Amino acid sequence: MAQKELKEAFVANLNGTRLEEVVLGSFLSPLCFIIRGFLLILYYQTRGTVALPLPPFSHMLLDVCVLVFPLVLSCTVLSSILHQVILSLIFLSAGLFYWIYVNTDRSVQKPASSFLQTPVQCDQVPFVTLFRVFVNVKTAISILAVDFPIFPRRYAKTETYGTGVMDFGVGAFVFANALVCPEARRKNVSGSRMGHVAKQIVSVWPLLALGLARLVSVKLADYQEHVTEYGVHWNFFFTLAMVRIVASALLTVLPSRLLWVFALLFSGLYQFILETSELKTFIIHNNEREKDFLHANKEGIFSIVGYVAIYLIGVQFGLFVMQPKSHVKDWLKMLVNLFFSSFILYGVLFACQTFVEPVSRRLANLPFVIWSVGQSLLFMSCLCVADMVLLFSKKSSGCPFIPSSLSLCTKKDENVETSGLERLCIIKAVHRNQLLFFLLANLMTGLTNMLVDTLSSDSFFSVLVLLLYMFVNCILVHVLHILGITVKFW
């Protein structure tokens, strides 16, 4: 077999992993975020100043080593002992917290009972930003790592049915975009409804351009393709664009309080059609891709229904989490609701997998929609818990400065210092240029595959390439962030 066929076979006919392993992976990023926050607090306690806690490059290096590199290692050399990694990080976090506690001036410490009444300020919802950034970072890691043997095959996208980590990444990416869309942020729709939809169609031209660019480059370079993911001509950029257009049209007529109901109705009706017609057989078994555009791209076209449902539910939760909250107790109430919603959805998922059919990213069926939303809410809830832990630590230690986390109501000069820290934060850097970061990851993935024989790479070399790849991606957006540059030309 030629190299192209070997690489295509390497990512084909896979069945995913257990739901429990995907759930376990939800704790990794929040724990890394907590540890990074504790390290900054300890540095503050040691130096007694936070005006510039670390030089810019050192701060970026800390962020990359603590927030990004563990994600690379967890899906490569440490994937077989992920539960041990999680437990080790929990113990490390507990040890750092104890160290902070014993080194905190007792006169600064406040009673734990007063924490619920603590006033909180934030321009954005920090854990939503964290969710979107970590989904982007994990996606960037996976799209290259999947081409190396060190990446577990159970994490890769499944052929038809199953729950691979990369399958969740696709649904989470759509959910993350919906959380902060104009409708979720309650931005007024100016002009007529049709004018708003037309405006959204125009706004997705970068995605369509990127989709066309990827299509042309893949065909010209004879790059490996997993056709059953989206089709012969379709790709994820086209899916993102079409989901945004369709969802924008629906959001102009659907009541905002019932978006989740309509989303479940759409995906439920789609599931009913899959079960009672020949559509499922057509998508899975009909291989006459040369017949017409629909046959060639059936997976990408029909899966739009499921992704639109995920998007609508994402908008619903975006409306919920973006509501103003002034005290810690308000954030905790919201956290409980997120956990409860995730728990309910997982219960529904088990029922669907028992009585309907398993999760299928290829079909974007009802179980896939429920799993994507439920797992996204669980991941976001874990990040919110991490934010609460750091907020409590900041209050009890007297160090109110940790980038990308909830902030205590502080004095004006302290806000200026916090703003200076945000300039050095890799999370803020990726968040500022998310589409560029995703585009860079795709370009560097293609370039790496052209320069490196990924299938024959040993473990050490594979991990080294992945770490270097993520470091370059991060440092590029970090430099842009420090310079105050947002790459947005549409």
Average pLDDT of the segment spanning 303-316:
97
**Residue 9 falls inside a structural domain:** yes
Q: CA-CA distance, 132 to 44, in Å (whole number)?
A: 28
For the chain, the C-alpha Rg in angstroms (whole number) is 23
Residue 176 confidence (pLDDT): 96
Q: CA-CA distance, 134 to 96, in Å (whole number)?
A: 23
Average pLDDT, the chain: 89
Q: How confident is the model at residue 489 (pLDDT cuts 50, 70, 90)?
A: low
Among 50-59, 134-143, 164-173, where is mean pLDDT lowest? 50-59
Q: Residue type at 287?
A: N
**Residue 488 falls inside a structural domain:** no
Give residue 127's domain range: 3-482
Q: What is this structure's pTM?
A: 0.94
Nearest to 218 by CA among 201, 203, 200, 236: 236
Instruction: Let me know: does 14 contact 151? Beta carbons within 8 Å.
Output: no
Q: CA-CA distance, 306 to 247, in Å (whole number)?
A: 11
**Residue 261 falls inside a structural domain:** yes
Max Cα distance, the chain (Å): 76
Out of 107-116, 193-202, 232-241, give the one with best mean pLDDT.
232-241
Residues 11-29 pLDDT 10s: 888 999 999 999 999 999 9
**Residue 340 falls inside a structural domain:** yes
**Residue 109 falls inside a structural domain:** yes
Instruction: Let me know: does 475 contact 60? Beta carbons within 8 Å.
Output: yes
Report the number of distinct structural domains present in the chain.
Answer: 1
- CA angle, residues 183, 308, 274, in degrees to nearest 5: 160
Out of 121-135, 198-212, 351-365, give the one with best mean pLDDT.
351-365
Decide if pLDDT at 215 tops 80: yes
Residue 402 confidence (pLDDT): 83
Average pLDDT of the segment spanning 42-59:
72
Higher pLDDT, 105 or 215: 215
- CA angle, residues 303, 306, 309, in degrees to nearest 5: 150
Residue 413 confidence (pLDDT): 46
Residues 242-264 pLDDT 10s: 999 999 999 989 998 999 999 99
**Residue 371 falls inside a structural domain:** yes
**Residue 489 falls inside a structural domain:** no
Decide if pLDDT at 48 tops 90: no
**Residue 336 falls inside a structural domain:** yes
Residue 379 confidence (pLDDT): 98
Residue with tokens 């030089």: 55
Q: CA-CA distance, 458 to 412, in Å (whole number)?
A: 53
Decide if pLDDT at 305 tops 90: yes
